[in-house]
């Protein structure tokens, strides 16, 4: 049976999250409903990466199998049914058995902060009207590169087999509006990126030192981390797959 990866982008502002939930509007629920309307049959989607309420994505994926051939016409018609804050950006035939979540080898996130009041950014970036030291931010970020136990930056009572993640890219950039934090790794824990941002901005404001931030990472104590960075500043930028799958996603 043909298997497909479905790429999509969305603005998460009005959604309760990515994964389907009872009595809540979600990204998966909206896409499954639109597909059922067009295909006249129900298709169960499996997502590559869950995002929380209010979180956005530049590129996320579903996979599904169906006994028919689909092409760009499918994308056009499903997009016509979907609300304007969700867009299917591509459909790709992949080998049977391919899995959008388990085949992923990494994910990249970006967190946007703006420091001057702007009504056009308030639902896609965190308004943080304070000066920050970019060099200090990047010193803290560089200490996260490589393999570490990220218990200190994960929400408690989550069912994961390990808190160890490998970070390959971790850096802050100054922009015209403020700052962007970009991080790429093989896996991420629930609440991890927002906790990293919320804690690192304290370094940027010199409320805590880089050394204190590094010690927090080693402490494996999430009580000391700051989880207050709001979801609307966070974007899942991309999901990374092995070259044999990436070659098909073009």
Catalytic residue ranges = 52
Q: Give CA 89 to chain center in angstroms.
A: 16
CA 129 to chain centre: 24
Rounded CA separation 244/32 (Å): 27
Closest Cα partner for 42 from 34, 53, 50, 52? 34
Contacts of residue 74, defined as CB under 8 A and 6 or more positions apart, other chains included, come to 38, 91
């Amino acid at each position: 049976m043909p298997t497909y990866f479905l790429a999509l982008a969305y603005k998460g502002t009005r959604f309760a999250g990515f994964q389907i939930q009872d009595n809540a509007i979600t990204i998966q629920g909206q896409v499954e409903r639109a597909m059922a309307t067009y295909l006249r049959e129900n298709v169960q989607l499996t997502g590559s990466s869950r995002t929380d309420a209010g979180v956005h994505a530049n590129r996320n994926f579903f996979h599904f199998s169906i006994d028919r051939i689909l092409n760009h016409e499918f994308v056009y018609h499903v997009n016509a049914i979907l609300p304007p804050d969700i867009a299917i950006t591509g459909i790709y035939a992949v080998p049977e058995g391919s899995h959008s979540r388990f085949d992923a080898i990494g994910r990249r996130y970006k967190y946007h902060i703006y420091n001057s009041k702007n009504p056009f950014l308030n639902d896609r970036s965190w308004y943080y009207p304070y000066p920050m030291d970019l060099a200090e931010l990047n010193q803290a970020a560089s200490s996260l590169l490589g393999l570490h136990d990220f218990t200190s930056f994960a929400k408690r009572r989550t069912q994961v087999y390990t808190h160890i993640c490998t970070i390959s890219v971790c850096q802050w950039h100054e922009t015209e509006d403020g700052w962007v934090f970009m991080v790429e790794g093989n896996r991420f824990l629930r609440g991890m990126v927002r906790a990293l941002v919320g804690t690192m901005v304290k370094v940027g404001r010199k409320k805590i030192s880089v050394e204190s931030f590094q010690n927090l990472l080693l402490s494996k104590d999430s009580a000391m981390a700051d989880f207050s960075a709001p979801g609307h500043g966070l974007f899942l930028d991309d999901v990374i797959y092995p070259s044999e799958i990436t070659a098909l996603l073009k």
